[in-house]
Amino acid sequence: MQTIILDTTVHKQRQVVLLKFPYNDQLISLVRKIPTATWSNTHRAWCVNFVPEISGTIKDTFSGQAEIDETLFLSKNNDVKNALHCRHYVAASIKNNEIREASLQQFEKFKWWLQSKRYSESTIRTYLDAIRTFFKYYSTLSVQEINNDHIIDFNNNYILSNNLSASFQNQVVNAIKLFYKVVENKNIEIDLIHRPKRARVLPNVLSKEEVKEILQVHKNTKHRMMLSLIYSCGLRCNELLSLKPLDIDSKRNLIIIKQAKGKKDRIVPLSPKILEMLRNYYVAFKPTNFLFEGQKEGTKYDSRSLQMVLKHALNKVNCTKPVTLHWLRHSYATHLLEAGTDLRYIQELLGHSRSTTTEIYTHVSTKNIQNITSPFDTL
């Protein structure tokens, strides 16, 4: 049985617990079930937000699958150690690790409903994790006893007290609203459940010169091909890795993106340069199942490995910006807009359901802004 070493550190101005273990698909699938779990390239480990009950959550998650080594975790932080062994947690802690039987039945009903509506696996997992956390926090109450005030209390004394993100809070609110539509609790007024006010964050965009440097620095054909395809077609990471050879329509110069985010199919144009690169790549690697396969034939290329491909490219060109794969997609959309492409077409190419999502790129396009003359220049 593998051992997971727990450690603690401060990451992005928040205290986190690090989970360190050799690469293992089964353990990775389990760690993804923990709310707030993210992979940290900086620490080369999975990290989750520290809350007093996190040790118990981790042990429950990996029960029977891995040994948990808490030596570093306990020795480095006395506050953490005291919190873990304290019998009476603060109000922000989950009051009981068990879900009431009646609540568990409603939980299963909600799960079946999500599955019958064909929600994606990731959405089902996210919603169930949020509802599970909410039920554990109110383990002394039945589903029918919970009202809107309890939800406000949960937001203030669990989410905000533990410095959890607005994005996570929004996911929890979405899950709770949908859950109570299904179970029909008369004490909950769904329309009064408020979402957090979200910060308006502009997408990060690279210049064409920066993109060119990043795409051309790799000598490895597969690595260059993957990064180039993301930028040239504005693909999400998972969309790229899910591509199959038959999704490339070379006669019409198109790529068919199947069952992407929101379970939507779409098509994107394929540039002649990319098509020629794809032909050379196909001859060299002869993929069978997925267009980009991992070390084992027929398996999907790992997303973390693709992130490392980008990181190595950034190191080679001495780029100090915290570039992610999604920056290439943002850059694709912005460069299209600056080239005069209609916003409606960009929306279709990116697979956005709402035009307001695509309109964010008008705020980072510099084509018109650069033509503005500062009054300082006329003094």
SS3 call for 5: strand
* Catalytic residue selected from 100, 132, 223, 329: 329
Residue-level pLDDT at 98: 60
Q: Give the right CATH number for 101-192 from 1.10.150.130, 1.20.1300.10, 1.10.287.3510, 3.40.190.290.
A: 1.10.150.130
Return d(Cα 258, Cα 264) in angstroms, integer.
7
Beta bridge partners, 320, equal none
Mean pLDDT of the chain: 83
Q: How far is C-alpha 83 from the chain's CA centre?
A: 29
Burial call 55-80: b when 16+ CB within 10 Å, e when fewer:
bebbbebbeeebebebeebbeebeeb
Cα–Cα distance measured from residue 187 to residue 55, given in angstroms and rounded to the nearest whole number: 33
| Known catalytic membership, residue 352 | yes
Alpha-carbon span 235 to 268, nearest angstrom:
9
Q: Give pLDDT tens digits for 47-78.
A: 888 876 677 788 888 888 888 888 777 765 54
In the residue annotation, 252 being an active-site residue is answered as no
Active site (annotated) includes residue 236: yes
Annotated catalytic residue 329: yes
Q: What is the mean pLDDT of residues 159-186?
A: 83
* Catalytic residue (one of 138, 158, 281, 361): 361
Q: Structural domain boundaries of the chain?
A: 2-85, 101-192, 215-325
Tens-digit pLDDT profile for residues 180-236: 888 876 777 888 888 777 767 788 899 999 999 999 999 899 999 999 999 999 999
Q: What is the mean pLDDT of residues 138-165?
A: 83
Band of pLDDT at residue 159, cut at 50, 70 and 90: confident
Statement: residue 92 has pLDDT above 60: no
pTM, two decimals, is 0.64
Q: 102: pLDDT confidence band, cut at 50, 70 and 90?
A: low
Domain 215-325: give its CATH code.
1.10.443.10
Cα(247)–Cα(143) distance, rounded to whole angstroms?
A: 46
Catalytic residue among 14, 20, 236, 311: 236
For the stretch 11-41, pLDDT in tens is 765 778 899 988 888 888 888 888 788 888 8
Which of 261, 266, 300, 311 is the catalytic position?
261
Q: In terms of pLDDT, which residue wins out, 317 or 88? A: 317
Q: Tell me if residue 326 is catalytic.
A: yes
Give catalytic status of residue 127 as yes or no.
Answer: no
Q: Which of 326, 344, 363, 367 is catalytic?
A: 326
Q: The dihedral of CA 77, 79, 82, 86: what is its sign?
A: negative
